[in-house]
Amino acid sequence: MQKQGQASVALIGCGALARELLALTRLHGWDAQVFGVAAKDHMLPQRIAPDVERRLRELIPRFWRLIVVYGDCGSNGALDAVLASYNVPRIAGPHCYEMYAGVSFSQLMDEEPGTFFLTDFLVRGFNGTVWKGLGLDRHPQLQPLYFGNYRRVVYLAQSDDAELRARAEAIAERLGLAFEVQQTGYGGLEERLARLMAEIQEERYRPVMPISR
């Protein structure tokens, strides 16, 4: 039973989705709070499962229900194994590109496997998250090693922002790649999360705390 004064749902999301999760929570009026896990974990995906687990252990005593807003994101099933032990669901999807683009993602990859995707988050943080994260600020000569097999940049835009579009186009030019834009909005992220939020009060989603891990 939900305790008096206890918030209903904790949304544990990748830091790359934090802005969108906050916006969706306001838009739908959900009784939920958003908690992030560092987006830089994508550079070392083995960190995703343990970092999410730390959030679970912190938040299960404080919230009636929890939802993890993450794809597998390269954890090779480790994230889902952790979530199963706590009986906490996550949004469907392998990663945010597929969440935003939906069926278009497979079509884009079939059309050109050498596609580098950008989102609003990655456009805003490209220098820190990608450029510095890959060490290209210190070793720019490695750029062909990282990007030599790409042929184009596709910007999956959540917002209709001319400044972000210009920055995305500048990133493509910097990488020497063709540039395309798809205006996705929140896409499948919103649809799938709204569906899960509508079900989350069901008993089958009651989280558990393993005795020891």
Name the residue ranges covered by the structural domains of the chain.
9-95+187-205, 103-183
* pTM, to two decimals: 0.89
Mean pLDDT calculated for residue range 16-28: 95
CB atoms within 10 A of CB 20: 25
Output the CA–CA distances (angstroms, integers) from residue 126 to 20, 151, 159, in the order listed: 17, 18, 17
Q: What pLDDT, on a 0 to 100 scale, did the predictor assign at position 116?
A: 97
Residue 125's nearest CA partner among 37, 17, 35, 11 is 17
**Nearest residue to 158 via CA among 192, 133, 190, 130:** 190
Tell me the percentage of the chain whose pLDDT exceeds 90.
Answer: 82
| pLDDT number for residue 73 | 87
For the segment 72-94, the average pLDDT, to the nearest whole number, is 93
Mean pLDDT of the chain: 92
Per-residue pLDDT for 1 more than 90?
no
Please give the pLDDT value at position 121: 95
What span, in angstroms and rounded, lies between the C-alpha atoms of 130 and 72? 19
Nearest-angstrom CA–CA distance, 39 and 13? 9
Region 9-95+187-205: CATH code: 3.40.50
Band (pLDDT 50/70/90 cuts) for residue 40 is confident
Residue 191 has pLDDT above 80, yes or no: yes
DSSP 86-122: HT--B-SSSSHHHHHHTHHHHHHHHH-SSEEEE-HHH
Mean pLDDT within 23-41:
94
Which position has the higher pLDDT, 61 or 6? 61
Task: Give yes or no for residue 63 having a pLDDT over 70.
Answer: yes
- pLDDT given at position 20: 95
